[in-house]
Amino acid sequence: MSLLVVGSVALDTVETPFGRAEDALGGSATFFSAASSLFAPVQLVGVVGDDYPVDALRFLGERGVDLAGLEHAPGESFRWSGVYNFDLSSRDTLETRLGVFADFAPKIPEAFRDTELVFLGNIDPELQINVLDQVRRPRFVACDTMNLWIDIKRDRLLDLLKRVDLLLVNDGEARQLSGDFNLSRAARWIMDRGPRYLIIKKGEHGAILFTPTGVFFAPGYPLDEVFDPTGAGDAFAGGFMGHLARCGTSMDDADMRRAVIYGSVLGSYAVEKFSVERFKDLTMEEVEERARAFREMTVFDLPVGAAAGV
């Protein structure tokens, strides 16, 4: 199925205990499409300034990312810089320069408007709604958001939630949005406002999928080294939506569970190198191998009587 992503295409300067990357490829649309294009063709809508090293995006094009919706605007590209603490569990933003992103008004090319799957990266909810007004009949819409929008664009965000099938947030955002510390109650609060599905990401502690009929837990993949956590959430979304795009069929709960696993797999690969580097040579064989590792890490059976409900 066709898959559209709208989000930021940025240049990140990142410092971790392992080193520093300057003006590296970043942004939600970049990470998302680097991950999802392993599974299926991707349509990207975003904006870069005239300083952007567009040649560096060529590997995306070669992997089936249609960059026809990448707008080139005069001015500076979106730049973010941050530094991670020693255990990589938190980070400080040193600088955010929006540049051309400040005036970003997504224009969905005509050829993209019949897309079946839409991922709305973390941008102003006004713009996310604007994207939904431009696409015709998407089969499944997922969106991300952040603390800033929950703070200053809460009403528009709630308008948006009525129109999406899946919201992906981290645990802090779920708590902030719902005003409830308990994640089970927070999930119900959010799902009462629109999304049939909710994914709460908990970093190294994994991810929780809430569906109309139940809940599914995926662990965090145990890595000996987390090199750079930047983009893990967007890579997760890319693996999730990428799996839905390639499987294409029922989108039932079993598909959603599998998609969470592929999200977790892509998120875990994202952090193994700076920027999108790990995706450049990542193969589907490696993806499937790690998906099997997730199965091996979580599978168990119950004693016969117990399992049968005797």
Residues binding a copy of itself (CB under 8 A): 86-87, 181-185, 202, 205-206, 208, 214-217, 219, 222-226, 247, 254, 257-258, 260-261, 288-289, 291-292, 295-303, 305-307, 309
Return d(Cα 131, Cα 143) in angstroms, integer. 11
Minimum Å gap between C-beta 308 and a copy of itself is 9
In angstroms, what CA-CA distances link 24 with 11, 77, 146, 192, 308? 5, 12, 22, 39, 53
For residue 198, give every residue at least 6 positions away whose Cβ sits within 8 Å of its Cβ, in sequence order, or none. Answer: 166, 167, 169, 174, 187, 190, 191, 209, 210
Minimum Å gap between C-beta 46 and a copy of itself is 30
Minimum Å gap between C-beta 61 and a copy of itself is 26
Minimum Å gap between C-beta 70 and a copy of itself is 31
Return d(Cα 27, Cα 46) in angstroms, integer. 10
Instruction: Return the number of the residue (105 or 302) whose C-beta is nearest a copy of itself.
Output: 302
Instruction: Return the number of the residue (74 or 86) whose C-beta is nearest a copy of itself.
Output: 86
Burial call 91-110: b when 16+ CB within 10 Å, e when fewer: eeeeeeebbbbeebebebee
Instruction: Return the number of the residue (74 or 309) whose C-beta is nearest a copy of itself.
Output: 309
Minimum Å gap between C-beta 230 and a copy of itself is 18
Residue 137 exposure: Cα atoms within 13 Å on the Cβ side: 0
Minimum Å gap between C-beta 219 and a copy of itself is 4
Instruction: Return the number of the residue (25 or 256) whose C-beta is nearest a copy of itself.
Output: 256
Within a 10 A sphere around the Cβ of 29, how many other Cβ atoms? 29
Instruction: Return the number of the residue (63 or 258) whose C-beta is nearest a copy of itself.
Output: 258
**Do the beta carbons of residue 231 and residue 84 sit within 8 Å?**
no
Instruction: Return the number of the residue (16 or 28) whose C-beta is nearest a copy of itself.
Output: 16
